[in-house]
Amino acid sequence: MNNRIIQLKGEISHMPHPIGGSSPTLPAGAVVTTTHLNSLKKDLEDVQSYWENNELIEGVLVSVEYTRIVAKSNRIKELFKGEKIIRGCKFTSDGQRHIITYYLSKEDLTESIGKLESALKILEGQFGGELNSAQFELARQSYVPEEKLTKSAFLQMIRDCCYSQRIFVDDQVNDSREGDYLVSLYDIDQNYEKIFEKLG
């Protein structure tokens, strides 16, 4: 029996955030805490550990489960940097949230962890460990510049984390029916034949 591969054509675009665009805001009623940032940082460290022990591909695939179905304007902009880093997008099983998969270099992942660590320290040191939507507006005036994060970068990091529920490696295989499996293939700028050879 021949295996059938369904190929979805098209490109998921990820345009850089325009310079001089509107300043980041938090949705009404939102609160971002150091507890949440610590959880996301632990997620990123787990992703890093996973790919340190897996040399199948050159970079890292990392998935973000958002808190809702997110508009393009609410996707991550500061935590992950780069052009054309989005390589997949799907819904959670209940259809209520987006899961977007990014392809980063290992160096970029390390930088992301460092930036999140800096944001944690600033959130704790300057804002008492949390920011709600009203305090977020006041933070524009009260923020004391840090060496690793400018004011705009810090505020965007907080916004990124606000919309991010968890970060993980999406390595689950879905059973469609007995004997059949649904797998995802991502464009990672590498030769798939060589990857399949590594898999044996």
Task: Count CB-CB contacts under 10 A for residue 81.
Answer: 15
Beta pairing partners, 164: 66
pTM: 0.81
pLDDT (average), residues 167-176? 76
**140: which residues sit within 8 A by CB, 6+ positions away?**
23, 151, 155
For residues 116 and 167, is the Cβ–Cβ distance under 8 A?
no
- Answer whether residue 41 shows pLDDT above 80: yes
Pairwise CA distance, residues 20 & 138, whole Å? 20
Buried b (16+ CB within 10 A) or exposed e, 1-28: eeeeeeeeeeeeebeeeeeeeeebebee
Residue 100 structure tokens: 């977007």
Are the C-beta atoms of residues 58 and 190 closer than 8 Å to each other? yes
Check residue 20 and give its pLDDT: 46
Listed range (52-66, 73-87, 184-198) with the worst mean pLDDT: 184-198
